[in-house]
Copies of this chain bind each other. A is one copy, B any other.
Amino acid sequence: MSKSKRLIYLPLGGAGEVGMNAYVYGYGEAGRERLILVDLGVTFPDMDSSPGVDLILPDMSWLIENRDRLEAIFITHAHEDHVGAVGRFPDLLEVPVYARAFTANIARGKLEEQGLDPRIVRTVSPWPETVTAGPFTVGFVPVSHSIPESAGLVIDSPGGRLVHSGDFKIDHTPVVGEPFDEGAWEEIGKVGVKALTCDSTNVFSRHEGRSEAELETQIEELFSRAKGLVVATTFASNVARLKTLAEAGERAGRSICLMGRAMLRMIEASVETGVLSGFPRVVSPEEAQSIPRENLMLLVTGSQGERRAASAQLARGKYNGMELKEGDLFLFSSKTIPGNERGVIRIMNQLSEKGVDVVDENSGFYHVSGHANRPDLLKMHQLVNPQMVIPMHGEHRMLCEHVKLAKENRRDGIVAVNGTMIDLSGNAPTVAEYIETGRVYLDGSVQIGALDGIVRDRIRMALNGHVIVTLILDEQDEPLGEPWCESMGLPETGRSRAPLVEILEADLGQFLGRASEKTLADDDKIEQELKRIVRRVAQDEIGKKPEVTVITSRLA
């Protein structure tokens, strides 16, 4: 490696959080490195911190500014937190997007949805085949995970070899797709690997991970005991699980019916790309209606409690002509992602109220994780045998713990959160620079900054309610009639039992009646005073200080 050139790593999303993965690697002279991007995913909003937002994207400003240096984008697998934002940054799409066939199929769909040219997505064959992108040669090494054709990347450059694990688990019997190939990774490691950028999701799970294939017997046993309709939900993209569930249903003498758009899309992609073979024949929702419930199984979307998904709709009432009732069985073959508990519990109880027997994954019988647990992470370190481990795909706590794990085993490591550019050129990782990053909200059709104050205002209205004061002043700055108040999201009456708006109007009217000419001539002063009065009076009447908008109209 020329002394003036360096090898860098820069996470723009996914490091210090679980979600919206976006990792940059670069090689070249400092500040002029040629770059590749690995993954471009989204995070999902929640009511606590991002009400009304549709999707959360990583802030890609730095890469957009430096897009003349970008050589290619690589997508490791088709989960939304890795591929979901690929159609959201058209400025980055002047370079090819590389992915394996199944992932490419999904990525092309994302581009088409946004009216972009899907042909920039190029399908690659797995390792040992490689793709060249500027100074980099990149190979896709199949790994087991919870979606077909996941890959870790081998990233070779004049600065040395890097391995980007992608999301992975060590599964030798993954039901769909290639088993985890320890030999291949060992071989890759033999050349000498500078750094392993590694999945950290399950670093706190102390036991070895379990194989997808372990679920088969338990699920089959559960279904064979069922007397009524059987419904099962899992992540639509967990094609192996869908297969396990469908086969168990088939063996229990049931016809399989898929419900939910995402699930149909995933099965379609799997069939189109040949990753799925031997999936039981499915019946349409129309056909399903004429099949006796004891001979039917529904595979549905909505394992995370999403309000519009099939599970939620079945819990509330009819969906696609089907209605659940006493004696039916509903299996959640999925883990609830932290933050989604309320929605999932709501659905479980709605189902229970219908008399449905709800089974979740707490027993461990009906779900296994798609991520490597602590001992499996250590195994991966040992196979790849890198100089240093750089944890990614995890909350801050997970990254720290993962570095600890590496160091306990005498390997260097560094916690690098979003925006931390790491220089990998030396024998130890060093921080080269801090880049400004953050989150961008896709809100309706507009991208807004997470710190723009827009969402903050929404949260304030939700917490405090909103009072609108309208005031008309004539040509002489005299109030024309009384000020007018409207409220939204506030009780109509409070302490004194008279309507809140009337009490507000009276107090505001009194203030204006006494206000000086100077005050009445000054819009800002009026606004400030009226807001103050509204907050004080509301606090006294209803014990809340609402958001206030004052609209002063002057007749010219």
Contact = CB atoms under 8 A, between A and B. Distances in A.
Interface of A: 16, 46-49, 51-52, 204, 206, 338-339, 341-343, 345, 348-349, 352-353, 358, 362-363, 395-397, 400, 417, 443-446, 448, 452, 454-455, 457-459, 461-466, 468, 470, 472, 480-481, 484, 486, 488-491, 493-495, 539, 542-544, 547, 549, 551, 553, 555-556
Contacts of A444: 491, 494, 539, 542-544
A174 to B, nearest CB: 26
A413 to B, nearest CB: 15
Contacts of A417: 353
Given A48-B343, A457-B465, 16 more contacts: A16-B349, A52-B462, A52-B489, A52-B544, A341-B341, A349-B397, A443-B491, A445-B544, A446-B491, A446-B493, A448-B491, A457-B489, A458-B489, A461-B488, A461-B489, A468-B468
Nearest to A458: B489
Q: Which of A358, A445, A494, A547 has the most CB of B within 10 A?
A: A445
26 contacts: A16-B349, A46-B342, A49-B342, A52-B462, A52-B544, A206-B363, A338-B341, A339-B345, A341-B341, A348-B395, A353-B396, A353-B417, A445-B495, A445-B544, A452-B491, A457-B465, A458-B463, A458-B488, A458-B489, A461-B461, A461-B466, A461-B488, A462-B462, A472-B553, A488-B549, A553-B553
Interface of A is mostly: mixed
A46 B46 CA distance: 12
Contact of A488 (B395, B457, B480): B457
A85 to B, nearest CB: 17
Given A349-B16, A551-B484, A52 B396 contact: no
Contacts of A446: 491, 493-494, 542-543
A528 B48 CA distance: 32
A549 B468 contact: yes
A364 to B, nearest CB: 11
Contacts of A455: 489
A553 B470 contact: yes
A48 B490 CA distance: 17
B495 A462 contact: no
Contacts of A543: 443-446
Given A47-B462, A462-B461, A454 B544 contact: no
Given A494-B445, A542-B446, A342 B48 contact: yes
B551 A470 contact: yes
A46 B51 CA distance: 13
Contacts of A462: 47, 51-52, 458-459, 461-462
A465 B539 CA distance: 24
A16 B491 CA distance: 28
Q: Which of A47, A461, A470 has the most CB of B within 10 A?
A: A461
Q: Which of A352, A489, A495 has the most CB of B within 10 A?
A: A489
B544 A443 contact: yes
A308 to B, nearest CB: 13
B489 A454 contact: yes
Contacts of A472: 472, 553, 555
Nearest to A46: B342
Given A339-B341, A489-B461, A542 B349 contact: no
B349 A395 contact: yes
B551 A468 contact: yes
A352 B16 CA distance: 10
Contacts of A556: 481
Q: Which of A446, A463, A493 has the most CB of B within 10 A?
A: A446
Nearest to A17: B349
B349 A52 contact: no
A339 to B, nearest CB: 5
A465 B547 CA distance: 13
Q: Which of A457, A458, A495, A551 has the most CB of B within 10 A?
A: A458
A343 B480 CA distance: 49
B542 A443 contact: yes
Nearest to A362: B204
Nearest to A343: B48
Given A488-B461, A494-B446, A345 B338 contact: yes
Contacts of A551: 468, 470, 484, 486, 551
A417 B349 CA distance: 12
Given A444-B542, A462-B52, A400 B352 contact: yes
